[in-house]
Each structure stands twice: as C-alpha cells, then as structure tokens.
C-alpha cells in the first residue's frame, strides 16, 4: 500500500490550498473527496443541460491574491472579474441603487437623504480604517495568548503594535466595532431605512444573528476586507462560476504532482498512540499517511471522524459548543430569458450586481424572528445575482443563471428534520418574493436547485449547513477559533491538522486558513515554505 506524506480530508478550496502548498514544498500529498468532484462549497455544476450554476458560494472578493499568485491560479484558468451595480427594491415601487462611480453613488443616496449621502464618506472611511487593521492579520497564525512560546509572544506584540498605531479614540472604536450590532453601528451614521438595510446585509449574511444582535458589525467587516486587484471592499465573479477557483486549484495541485481521489468518503481518521496514521474510507479502504489534514469543519472532524476516546474531554466539550448554526439557503435558477424588473427601467446597470428586496432593518430582524422559532423566513432577504450578464461561459447567449442566497433558513424545521415538501415550500417563498417584483418570472424558469441546510450538509458536509464552518462572532475569532489552545491549525492528536474555515481567519472563499495551515505544518516538519508569499503590505 502506498503511503503518502500528507492526506487531506476534503477537496474544498482550503483543502486544495493546503494540498498545493505542501505538494510544492516537496511532500507527496493525497486529497480524498467524498463527492465525485472537488470544490466543496466553491463549485460550478451543470445540473441541467446548458447551464452552469455556482451552487454554493457565488461571488469572489476575499480569496487572497497572494495565494492566486503563489499557486499560479491564473495560468490554471482562474479569472476574477469585477462587477458593478446592485439595488434594493423598495415596497413603494422605487429602489436604492448602488453605483461604482463615487458621485453617482452619492447622488443616489441623496435621493433619499442629503445627510446620508454625505455621511457615507465618513462611514466608508471608518470601515476602511478597521479593514486596514484586520487585513494583515488574515495571513498570520493567530497568537496563543496563553501559550507563552516566544513566537506567540512576538505575534501578540505584533498585534499590540498594530493596535498601538491607533489613537486611544480609534482603539475604543475598534472594540466597539468588534462587539456592537450592525443596526446600532449604522444608526450612528444614517437615518434612512433603505440605506441601512442595504448596508446591514453584509453584517448578517451567513450568520445566525439578526441585524440587531451584538457582534454583527464585525461580520460586515469580514465582507469588506476582500479586494479585487487591490480595490479593497470590491467584489467580483469567478469566470465560470465559483467552481473555477477550485478547478484552478486542482489543476495547479495535479500539475505539481499531487493526487486526488474522488468518490472517497472518509469514515474515520486512524490514530495510534495519540498520533494520526491515516484514514479509513466508507468503502473500507485504509489509506496511510504521515499526517492528516482535515478540511471538514471542526465538528465533523472531531465528533464524527475521530473517536471521542482519543480526545481530551474539555476539547470535545468545546467543539460540541462551537456555534455552527445554519442560517441560510440557496436557490439556483436556470432562466430561458432575462427577467424584467420594471422598477429599474430599461438597461439598468443594477441588474449586474446584488439585488435585494428587504428595504428595512426592521424587516430583516423580523425575518430573523422566524428563524428563532425554527421556521424559514416568511419574508426572507435575498442576495440575488445574475452572473451571466457578465460571464458568457455559464450558459448560452440570452439564457441566464440566477443565484439567490436566502436568509434565514434553519437547520431543522421546528425541531424536526427537513422534508422534501418543506424544501419545495421554502423555494416557493423565494420565487414568490421575486415574482412580486418581476412579472412573468415563473414562466422563465427552466430548472431550479434548492438547497436548505439539509442539502448543504448532505452534499458539502457543512455541519448544520453553516457556510462559514462556524459563526464569525468575536467569541469564535482569532485565538478562540475554533477552540482556545487549538487555534494554530493543530489538534490534540499529533499529526492531525485542521485547514478549513473553522480555523482563523474564518469563512468565505479566502484560502487564508488553508495557506496558514500549510505554513504551520511545514514549520512542524522543519521544511521551508519558500514558495509561500508573505501577506501583501497594507501601506
């Protein structure tokens, strides 16, 4: 039996990033993936002929450019293109548009409030200042404040120094930002409901909290700290759908000599004497490896793939209580023609960006109330996009793929498991909302993929369907992610590492957890990570 130096459990984007870096550092790496394709939550699948969907994640901003360059992803086919526009439809038949042009953006806000139009400058400035503080932390292993190792102390000093560059006033702002609700935060700048609703969305996306829950301001930050070609906060499409990211990663990995095995679900991680020795697959095959890296979330990894006896009790307790509450669903729709949104008028650029129908923070909070009661929102908020307006590769001319991210959607319906009838009713809620603003919408539908947390967990493996492999609240960030004392990609089992979004710096198609995990593994192996770029300077 062939023995690999490293075995990666799960071929999601982070697993592939780790695999690429380790293979390039000279290890012999195997990726095992339970599905018949790689990609995890960054996939493009053709579920109906002639249409490619971005099945889970659907836009790209956070993926670190350093990783794209190191792993030669452009050469392996990855193109990320900026998009423009976006709009929130209001119930009175108007809309609030989002424009890339600075002055047009201001004039659009001024339609609702001159004050808010001019307040946006200061808001954007304050958010950017916070992003500039966080960005350099993404590509560094979080220090363990209780580890007292020289490296932890120097990393803590680094953090303290970054923080120390702030004035006392800014430090207070940062602490507030990391803990307050997005609704309270926005209230300090804006007076108009629809403007706040438009900006609040980034604070709750993928999060089982409402806009009025403390901690949601940070989630907004998490969505602002990406970039497209140096334009911080900008979002783009991966050409060919989000699967293009993982396809490029897998080509890069194979080109450097790595091996991928699909249709190979891991049943157990094998351990002997507190040390990982390989895995056993669902079909009974045993695979041996010097070390095992899990791309699965921390719950799946340690509550399902590892025997509880092999783990310290406190660790298991912490893992069990790591919050991975699912809060969202996804409806992917194939359309035989471009939908009309009469409110927007002809040739609106708004169609090329994110469209929402939730025009007040209050409505978002009410949508969250449904989730708390164990129901999907009767009046959900949608992040709806039509990538095929900019990406010609996903379907044929004139036809379109529409991606609808839907919140809130609970992991269980009133405490019981989802049924197919629930799923269909959930889809109907979504289609009903779109149809209210787009006459004739139903008639354009060729095919739909409806994904509740049930489908997301079953296919992608994300526990409870949580898209971030764990919520991005302050208690689950930095050295607390996923478990205090185990925030540096290592686990209680020697030779078993974590590289997924459950680890620092968290979810989104960012690649930073995978890259940081590779750095720690290579450090343990005393190997050079020479092919790994340092994080770009924030100047």
Partner 1 sequence: MNALTTSAAGLRRAARNHIRTPRLETPFHERLAALSEVNDWYSWAGYKAPHSLFDGELEYFAIRSTAALFDISPMVKYRITGPDAERYLNRLTLRDVRKLAVGRVQYTAWCDDHGHVLDDGTLFRLGEADFRLCCQERHLPWLLDSAFGFSVDIREETEEIAGLALQGPTSYAVLRDAGFAGVEALKPFAVVSFQHEGGEVTISRTGFTGDLGYELFVPRAKALSLWDRLWSAGELHAIRAIGYGALNQARIEAGFIVANTDFVTAEGALRADRERMPDEIGLDWLVDPDKPNFNGRKAILDARRNQTLKYILVGLEIEGNIPAEHAIVYHRKKHEAGIVTAGIWSPTTKRNIAIASLERPYGSKFTEDLWVEIYAMRELQYQKLMKRAKIVPRPFVKLARRTATPPGLK
- The binding site for partner 1 (CB under 8 A) comprises 92, 94, 97, 99, 101-104, 106-108, 110-112, 114-115, 117-119, 121-122, 125, 128-129, 132, 165-167, 169-170, 189, 345, 349
How does 177-212 read in b/e, with b if 16+ C-beta sit within 10 Å?
Answer: bbebbbbebbeebbebbbbbbbbbbbbbbbbbbbbb
Is 517 exposed, middle or buried (CB count within 10 Å of its CB: 0-12, 13-18, 19+)?
Answer: buried
Between CA 63 and CA 248 the distance in angstroms is 13
CB-wise, 170 or 336, nearer to partner 1? 170
* C-beta closer to partner 1: residue 167 or 283: 167
User: What's the min distance (Å) between Cβ of 403 and partner 1?
Assistant: 24
Residue 111 vs 523, nearer CB to partner 1: 111
- If the CB atoms of residues 309 and 346 are measured against partner 1, the closer one turns out to be 346
d(CA 335, CA 391): 15
CB 13 within 8 A of CB 242: no
Residue 65 φ then ψ, to 5° = -65, -30
Cα-based angle 62, 66, 68 (whole degrees, multiple of 5): 75
Cβ proximity to partner 1, 111 vs 275, nearer residue: 111
Q: Minimum Å distance from CB 353 to partner 1?
A: 13
Q: How far apart are the first and last CA of the chain?
A: 51
Nearest distance, CB of residue 104 and partner 1, angstroms: 5
Q: How far apart are CA 272 and CA 310, in angstroms?
A: 9
- Minimum distance of partner 1 from residue 233's CB (angstroms): 12
Between CA 293 and CA 276 the distance in angstroms is 10
Six-digit token string for 222: 């998490």
Measured between alpha carbons, how far is 154 from 458 in angstroms, rounded to an integer?
42
Q: Minimum Å distance from CB 87 to partner 1?
A: 11
Q: In the structure encoding, which two tokens stand for residue 448, read together?
A: 């739909």
One DSSP character per residue, 17-73 reads HHHHHHHHTT--EEEE-SSSSSBTTS-EEEEETTEEEE-S---BS-S-HHHHHHTTT
* Cα 415–chain centre separation: 26
- Between CA 219 and CA 236 the distance in angstroms is 19
Least distance from C-beta 224 to partner 1, angstroms? 13
Return the bridge partners of 337, or none.
Answer: none
The residue (of 49 and 345) whose beta carbon lies closer to partner 1 is 345
Tokens linked to 120 = 């946006």
Least distance from C-beta 446 to partner 1, angstroms? 31
Cβ at position 86, least distance to partner 1 in Å? 13
**Is the CB of 165 or the CB of 369 nearer to partner 1?**
165
- HEC string for 62-89: CCCHHHHHHCCCCCCCCCEEECCCEEEE
**CB 59, min distance to partner 1, A:** 22
- Cβ nearer to partner 1, comparing 36 with 93: 93
Q: Quote the tokens at residue 189.
A: 């700048």
Q: How far is the CB of 348 from partner 1 (least distance, A)?
A: 8
Pick the closer one to partner 1 by CB: 121 or 524. Answer: 121
Nearer to partner 1 by Cβ, of 169 and 321: the residue is 169
């Amino acid at each position: 039996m062939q023995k690999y130096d490293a075995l990666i459990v799960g071929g999601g984007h982070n697993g592939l990033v780790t695999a690429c870096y380790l293979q390039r550092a000279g290890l012999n790496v195997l990726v095992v993936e339970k599905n018949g394709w790689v990609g995890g939550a960054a996939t493009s699948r053709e579920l109906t002929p002639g249409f490619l969907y971005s099945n889970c994640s659907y836009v790209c901003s956070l993926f670190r450019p350093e990783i794209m360059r190191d792993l030669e992803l452009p050469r392996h086919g990855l193109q990320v293109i900026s998009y423009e526009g976006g709009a929130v439809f209001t119930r009175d038949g108007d809309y609030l548009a989002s424009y890339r042009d600075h002055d047009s953006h201001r004039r659009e806000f001024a339609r609702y409030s001159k004050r808010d139009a001019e307040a946006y400058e200061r808001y954007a400035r304050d958010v950017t200042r916070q992003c500039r503080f966080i960005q350099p932390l993404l590509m560094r292993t979080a220090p363990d404040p209780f580890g007292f190792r020289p490296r932890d102390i120097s990393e803590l000093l680094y953090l303290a120094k970054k923080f120390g560059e702030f004035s006392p006033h800014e430090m207070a702002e940062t602490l507030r930002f990391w803990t307050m609700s997005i609704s309270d935060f926005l209230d300090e700048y804006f007076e108009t409901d629809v403007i706040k609703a438009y900006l609040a969305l980034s604070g709750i996306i993928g999060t089982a909290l409402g806009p009025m829950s403390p901690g949601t301001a940070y989630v907004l930050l998490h969505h602002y700290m990406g970039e497209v070609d140096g334009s911080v906060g900008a979002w783009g499409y991966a050409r060919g759908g989000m699967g293009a990211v993982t396809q490029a990663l897998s080509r890069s990995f194979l080109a450097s000599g790595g091996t991928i095995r699909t249709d190979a679900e891991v049943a157990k991680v094998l351990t002997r004497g507190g040390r990982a020795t390989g895995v056993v697959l669902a079909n009974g095959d045993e695979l041996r490896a010097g070390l095992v890296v899990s791309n699965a979330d921390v719950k799946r990894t340690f509550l399902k793939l590892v025997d509880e006896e092999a783990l310290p009790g406190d660790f298991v307790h912490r893992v069990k209580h790591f919050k991975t509450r699912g809060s969202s669903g996804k409806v992917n729709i194939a359309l035989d023609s471009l939908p009309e949104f009469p409110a927007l008028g002809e040739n609106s650029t708004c169609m090329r960006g994110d469209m929402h129908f939730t025009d007040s923070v209050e409505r978002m909070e009410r949508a969250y109330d449904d989730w708390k009661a164990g129901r999907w929102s009767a009046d959900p908020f949608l992040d709806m996009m039509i990538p095929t307006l900019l990406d010609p590769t996903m379907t044929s001319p004139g036809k379109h793929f529409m991606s609808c991210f839907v919140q809130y959607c609970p992991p269980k319906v009133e405490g019981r498991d989802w049924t197919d009838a629930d799923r269909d009713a959930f889809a109907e809620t979504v289609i009903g909302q779109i149809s209210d603003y787009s006459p004739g919408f139903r008639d354009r539908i060729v095919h739909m993929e409806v994904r509740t947390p049930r489908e997301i967990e079953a296919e992608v493996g994300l526990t409870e369907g949580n898209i971030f492999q764990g919520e991005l609240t302050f208690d689950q960030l930095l050295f607390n992610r996923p478990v205090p004392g185990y925030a540096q990609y290592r686990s209680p089992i020697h030779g078993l590492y974590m590289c997924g979004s459950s680890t620092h710096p968290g979810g989104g198609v960012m690649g930073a957890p995978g890259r940081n995990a590779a750095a720690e593994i290579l450090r343990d192996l005393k190997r050079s990570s020479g092919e790994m770029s340092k994080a770009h300077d924030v100047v």
